[in-house]
Chains A and B, each alone.
Chain A
Amino acid sequence: MEDLLKLGERSYRSRLIVGTGKYKDFAETQKAIELSGAEIVTVAVRRVNITDPNKENLLDYLDPKKYTILPNTAGCYNAEDAVRTCRLARAAGIGNMVKLEVIGDDQTLFPDMPATLEAAKILVQEGFVVLPYIADDPITAKKLQDIGCAAVMPLAAPIGSGLGIRNPYNIRIIMEQARVPVIVDAGVGTASDAAIAMEMGCDGVLMNTAIAGARDPILMAEAMRQAVEAGRKAYLAGRIPKKLYATASSPLDGMLA
């Protein structure tokens, strides 16, 4: 049976979700995303510069027929702004799945969890498929799941920090009680971080800076695809238990003399 990531009504072969920010240009964005194998890409919603409307648009490089476009609410500091942003995004006609993030503080970019919960309730009622960015807080993760979010997306570490999974124990607790996919969102620094998240049993990983900020983003995109695939396979295969002492790999019988 094919191993798929299910979000709302849709299923995906790739378990890597990538952002589209911070690339040198749209051509690099396009190439990196192609090599990442991602089927879902996040985007932000921003005002058009009306004095110099850029003729090129991100969607000219990322065909919404090929990719699921996942608008985010980055930069929103309250539920009202986040809901407004999601409604605008949906009006673009690219679907109803949104990455909800309500930021609580501009230095850590940690989420404001009560405001996230408030926005999620409204969005779920309005028929959005809501994927909320959350702290590694099992209690709020459960509440968000209970009100109908299609996934929960705990941070590994602060956005753009590259610190890797700072609290694997909380992520494990979130996974144990989850009936929806758990996607690690933010904080991944390199391929091993992504692999660790997947080996732990996370359903997916979402990242932007780890790829876009690498010296060679296109090569890192490929590394991340392989890391997520390897981590997933290792999880499904079931790792051996850790032991303090050795167990010989070669037979003990038939030794010379």
Chain B
Amino acid sequence: MAVEDTVFLIHVKICINGEAKEVADGLSIVRLLEELRIRPARVVIELNRDIVSREAQGSTVLKEGDALEIVQFVGGG
């Protein structure tokens, strides 16, 4: 289910990687990653400046005003 298909749900405004986004209320980080088609094993998540471990990503629900960072390793020197 893509983010845009969920308009009938209540939404919360959050910030993902510096961009303003609306996501369904009650959405967990694991579900968000699924919607964005991002493999959890290849990224690290920071929520409001705190790292969210992989184990905690299923139970962590996004709330209005949250600032989320999704980062990965890229080529670098």
Contact = CB atoms under 8 A, between A and B. Distances in A.
A46 interface: yes
Given A59-B42, A72-B77, A92-B44, A47 B71 contact: yes
Interface in B1-52: 16-19, 36-39, 42-44, 46, 49, 51
Interface residues of B, number: 24
A147 interface: no
A29 B75 contact: yes
Interface string B44-77: 1010010101000000000000000111111111
Given A43-B74, A43-B75, A59-B73, A89 B44 contact: yes
B75 A57 contact: no
A58 B75 CA distance: 7
A53 interface: yes
A50 B76 contact: no
A44 B16 contact: no
A197 to B, nearest CB: 16
Contacts of A208: 76-77
Nearest to A207: B77
B75 A23 contact: yes
A21 interface: yes
Contact of A87 (B16, B19, B51, B73): B51
A21 B73 CA distance: 11
A88 B77 contact: no
B17 A47 contact: yes
Contacts of A209: 77
Given A57-B42, A59-B42, A48 B76 contact: no
A159 interface: yes
Contact of A58 (B43, B51, B53, B74): B74
A68 interface: no
Contact of A20 (B19, B49, B51, B76): B76
A239 to B, nearest CB: 30
Contact of A91 (B44, B49, B75): B44
Contacts of A206: 77
Find the residue from B17, B19, B37, B72 having the highest chain A CB count within 10 A.
B72
Interface of B: 16-19, 36-39, 42-44, 46, 49, 51, 53, 69-77
18 contacts: A20-B77, A21-B75, A42-B77, A43-B73, A44-B74, A45-B44, A45-B71, A46-B71, A46-B72, A46-B74, A47-B18, A53-B36, A53-B38, A58-B72, A72-B77, A74-B77, A186-B77, A206-B77
Given A23-B75, A69-B73, A84-B49, 4 more contacts: A19-B76, A88-B44, A88-B46, A159-B77
